Structure 1
Amino acid sequence: MKAVLFDFDGTLADTLPLSFSAFKAVFKQHDHREVTNDELISMFGPTEEGIIEENFTAQASVLQAIEDYYALYEKGHYTNFPNEKELVDLLRHLKEQGVKIGVITGKSRRAFVISSEALQLQRFFDVAITGDDVGKPKPDPEGIHKALQLLGIDHSNAIFVGDSNADILAGKAAGLRTYGVRWLSTYQSSEYDRIPDGVFNRVAEFYKLLDANR
């Protein structure tokens, strides 16, 4: 194993509740409607800008809603945000073992920078492919292929880890061993259209996989 590629929201960072909260606020304020978590998850795929642009009926409010979303999202990182020490330790362990770490996320570059800098995770990543960097978001494997190309690593020497059905589909489509995770407070999917190579409910369980591939 030369590289581990991760999804971000719900996989490396417990940012989904914060994202849900910010989206609900701007939908209520600018589009005058209530949306549920499940409705928001069904909108996921595009970047934050894309989600608002494609789902707002009040198109005149889109630009202001996007700016308000980012303001709320950024502020939330500095008010009682959970510190996921286990995941920081995992990333540090991978780096110490010489394993390359990549992120493939549907988040915009702007949102990813907000989170990765606020949570001090950016130092661990060798490559990060965001929703702004691909023409086709997950479940298309474009982002995974791009990350592996930049790292110079064959798909047979990498694994992909994510919390959503789209993650599992993307990893499988890219030909990687692909694992689902449910180790944070909020994750996107409990069922998958394709069977992952494993599912981890705790970060500690992931170390067994690493030991087996050392």
Structure 2
Amino acid sequence: MNKRFVLFDFDGVIANTEESNARYFEKALASFDIYLSEEDKHKLIGTKDTENVIRLLSRAHKKVTLEELQLKRKEIGNTYENSDISPMPGLISLIENFREKGFKIGIVSSTSTRLIIIALNRMKMINLFDAIICGDMCTKGKPDPEGYKKAMSLLNAKPEECIVFEDSKVGIHAGKMAGAQVVAYRGSGIAQNVEEADFAIDSYEECKKILDEITI
């Protein structure tokens, strides 16, 4: 069946936020004498796993609650509001190309609605999307497919009509479990396991070369 819908993750796919996000998060944790290993960082990419954060907080010498961490993070700031943020190279051209072909475009992110909307407005991209599903709109985060299924429902899309762009292992799995064809984007600078994806690209310019193949 021909593809008619494209769903993008946000962090590491629309904007290169993941390294900046990690720095802000590390700074908040460090105020409680908690420090992240490389393995910790990879486990946090692409998901809103509260249990994983609670495990990190258990390393503190004194008890630290999620609420205390959130207050500290608000005090320190975040990528979406406080850092330079811009779309990935070639992304806007790719989206415009899809739209010219009649595709509907959506976002499925684990990040909160408020921050995603702020970031999209700062990048002047809000009008490029027909549906936006964020982490606080779902009861289950990636790798669960709930977010992708919600976006498909909003767009009245069948899974086999959808292309998903993801960069993380958990996001790729969520897209596959939702029944979509998944393209792994490897241009974010953080190497991740993308073996479950149907295709892998290093740039959106490169993606244009395989569009005919993935839209058959």
Q: Tell me the TM-score normalised to structure 2 length.
A: 0.84
Any idea what SS the aligned residue of 1:102 has?
strand
RMSD of the alignment, in Å? 2.3
- The correspondence of residues 89-100 of structure 1 with structure 2, limited to 5 A, is 89-100=93-104
- The correspondence of residues 154-169 of structure 1 with structure 2, limited to 5 A, is 154-169=158-173
- The correspondence of residues 172-183 of structure 1 with structure 2, limited to 5 A, is 172-183=176-187
- The correspondence of residues 37-52 of structure 1 with structure 2, limited to 5 A, is 37-44=38-45, 45-46=47-48
Give the ranges of 4+ consecutive aligned residues of structure 1 lying more than 4 Å apart after TM superposition: 49-54
Please name the residue that 1:68 is paired with.
Answer: 75
Taking the aligned partners of 1:92 and 1:36, their CA distance within structure 2 comes to 39
| 1:82–1:116 distance in 2 versus 1, CA, 3 Å | closer
- Structure 2 residue 201 is the aligned partner of structure 1 residue 200: yes
Identify the match of residue 15 of structure 1 among 14, 17, 23.
Answer: 17
Taking the aligned partners of 2:34 and 2:51, their CA distance within structure 1 comes to 18
Letter in 2 for 1:172: K
The gaps in structure 1 that reach 5 residues or longer are none
Taking the aligned partners of 1:68 and 1:122, their CA distance within structure 2 comes to 27
Taking the aligned partners of 2:122 and 2:157, their CA distance within structure 1 comes to 29
Alpha-carbon offset, residue 53 of structure 1: 5.8
Aligned residue pairs total 205
Q: Deviations over 1:32-67 (max 9, x none)?
A: 2222453133134217x8875664342262242231
Any idea what SS the aligned residue of 1:178 has?
strand
Letter in 1 for 2:113: R
Q: Percent of counterpart pairs with the same letter?
A: 25
Q: Tell me the TM-score normalised to structure 1 length.
A: 0.85
Taking the aligned partners of 2:44 and 2:87, their CA distance within structure 1 comes to 27
Please name the residue that 2:33 is paired with.
Answer: 32
Please name the residue that 1:190 is paired with.
Answer: 193
Letter in 2 for 1:21: R
